[in-house]
Amino acid sequence: MKKRAAVGMVLSIALGASSFLFQQPAEAKGGEEIRYSKEYKTPAYIGEKWSKPKNLKNEEIVWAYLHAKKSLFKLKGDVKSQFKILKQEKDSLGMTHYRVQEVYHGIPVYGSDQTVHTDRDGNVTSFFGTVIPDLGAKKIQTTAKIGKEQAVQIVRKDLEAQPGNISRLASDPDTGLYIYPHQGNYYLAYHVKVSVIQPEPGYWHYFINAVNGEVIRKYNTVHQLTGSGRGVLGDRKTFEVDHKYGKYYLKGTSRGGGIKTYNAYHVIYESQLPGTMVSSKTNYFLDGAAVDAHAYAEKVYDYFKNVHGRNSYDGNGAPVISSVHVGRNWNNAAWIGTQMVYGDGDGIVFRPLSGALDVVGHELTHAITEKTANLEYHNESGALNESISDIFGAMVDSGDWLLGEDVYTPKQSGDAFRSMSNPTQYDQPDHYSRYVRLPDTPDGDYGGVHINSGINNKAAYLLAEGGTHYGVNVTGIGRAKTAKIYYRALTLYLTSRSTFADMRQAAIKAATDLYGSASQEVQSVKNAYSAVGVY
């Protein structure tokens, strides 16, 4: 039996349920290029050069633009009461980028976020995102009848009802109040994000009805699946350490808020994380999993800092924390909101997962995604979330287009758990016509996020390396340019509910910004996505 069978039966079952669906390209109207949201029938993308009114600047331009597009977005009333500008960022090209949030009576609407982009003269060049039309006409409860603390207790009780012993959560889980659209209804809800260790590590998202305390939805984004030392594979690595009170610690202080690595072998509850900082009597460390986690975290940090100018995952120098030896024979690694956790594997499916540079890069990219586009972890946006982590995992570990080959099935050589160059080798689709429609449930991989990521992975591979796929020829532009395009698309253009079609448009826009609209890079982006059936 080939090794890929270890990934689980869901992959082989899922491919048998493929839907042969094609996406529709954007339409052009009077100089505007518009692509509409299938769900709300409002623009998900607008490309144009919208000339700003005279004497307007900064946020005033955004308000004027949204007002001018009211009819397209099917909005009524004052747009200033329906949106909030969250962030303004000027880039090295002289462009200014705004992140915007739709609100209802001042309460943010979950998943309804947008980006508006202006050139150096203040003219709007593009809009990305989801706008829910005419929310003001809907009667949505805006007064919470339970508090944040009660919502957290409801989450705690629900988790404790699951098999295993989960009795200690973080003292102050990340909790926010939103209007939450779900299955055609609109709820006033708390979004509670909490990490757990038992019965296995998880990073849970709960939506709790703020009126009656019911659990509306829940999902887990951890899906089953200058000192020196030797790593998991026996290779010697050099990295920064700290010396204090006669001991050496896996703590580097020269990068942002620091690179810190902990041993979580004795950790039972999430509140005990990150564990005990890994130490040694000498500056030579023997714990291979810890050595790799620490050295690779440094490499990933340096990659994003040196190549993309990003200071840690939040852009503001947050400490990069890793815990190794998490769980017992846990075959996984994960970003859990504030840090990375790595299992030791069971020795059959995986060896310690921190032993793969691309795995470490993958997990830290999840952290960057959470701080930027915040792609929702289900259906197409979830598949993009996974794919973008794969892309940057492959960029950091640039020797091949495989994922996890250094730690997967240690007793059998020559394989991996995903291939970006040939997704079908590991039961992933490589074209949108083979998109796998699965239920948005844990058993359905939340709509196939780890399965359908192969489509965008293939596009990224073609963009970098070139080739002919489904009869479409793509001229490769190399890894470096491909990485710059995807980084810009992720951090500036994508929003929480972006689809594959949005990804295509964001990549085109990023390539246009960087290399010009008539460049080979832009044409290669278009061809790469055409080759995988995304328009």
Q: Write the class of the CATH domain 3-21+402-531.
A: mainly alpha
H or E element that contains 370: helix 357-371
- Please determine whether the domains at 3-21+402-531 and 227-356 fall in the same fold group of CATH: no
pLDDT for the residue numbered 22: 36
Per-residue pLDDT of the chain (535 residues; tens, 9 = 90+): 333 333 332 333 233 333 323 344 555 455 689 999 999 999 999 999 999 999 999 999 999 999 999 999 999 999 999 999 999 999 999 999 999 999 999 999 999 999 999 999 999 999 999 999 989 889 999 999 999 999 999 999 998 887 654 555 655 788 999 999 999 999 999 999 998 887 778 899 999 999 999 999 999 998 654 555 667 777 777 889 899 889 999 999 999 999 999 999 989 888 899 999 999 999 999 999 999 999 999 999 999 999 999 999 999 999 999 999 999 899 999 999 999 999 999 999 999 999 999 999 999 999 999 999 999 999 999 999 999 999 999 999 999 999 999 999 998 888 899 999 999 999 999 999 999 999 999 989 999 999 999 999 999 999 999 999 999 999 999 999 999 999 999 999 999 999 999 999 999 999 999 999 999 999 999 999 999 999 9
Domain residue ranges in the chain: 3-21+402-531, 31-137, 148-220, 227-356
Going by C-alpha positions, the residue among 221, 229, 148, 250 that lies closest to residue 191 is: 148
**CA pair distance 333, 225, nearest whole angstrom:** 8
Alpha helices in 397-451 (DSSP H): 445-448
The answer to whether 386 is a known catalytic residue is no
Q: Looking at 298, 363, 386, 521, which residue is catalytic?
A: 363
- For the chain, the farthest-separated pair of C-alpha atoms sits apart, in whole angstroms, at 72
pLDDT for the residue numbered 54: 92
Residue 343: CB atoms within 10 A of its CB come to 24
The answer to whether 363 is a known catalytic residue is yes
Q: Write the class of the CATH domain 227-356.
A: alpha beta
- Domain 148-220: give its CATH architecture: Roll (3.10)
Q: Looking at 205, 450, 469, 521, which residue is catalytic?
A: 450
**CA pair distance 447, 512, nearest whole angstrom:** 32
Q: Are the beta carbons of 532 and 431 closer than 8 angstroms?
A: yes
**CA pair distance 506, 26, nearest whole angstrom:** 13
**CA pair distance 501, 482, nearest whole angstrom:** 18
Q: Which residues lie closer than 8 Å to 119 by C-beta, 6 or more apart?
A: 49, 94, 95, 125
pTM of the entire structure?
0.88
pLDDT for the residue numbered 224: 54
At CA 36, angle to CA 32 and CA 38, rounded to 5? 170
At CA 201, angle to CA 198 and CA 202, rounded to 5? 110
Please give the sequence-ordered ranges of beta strands (E in DSSP) within 30-130, or none if there are none: 32-36, 43-50, 83-90, 96-104, 107-118, 124-129
- Which neighbouring-strand residues pair with 467? 474
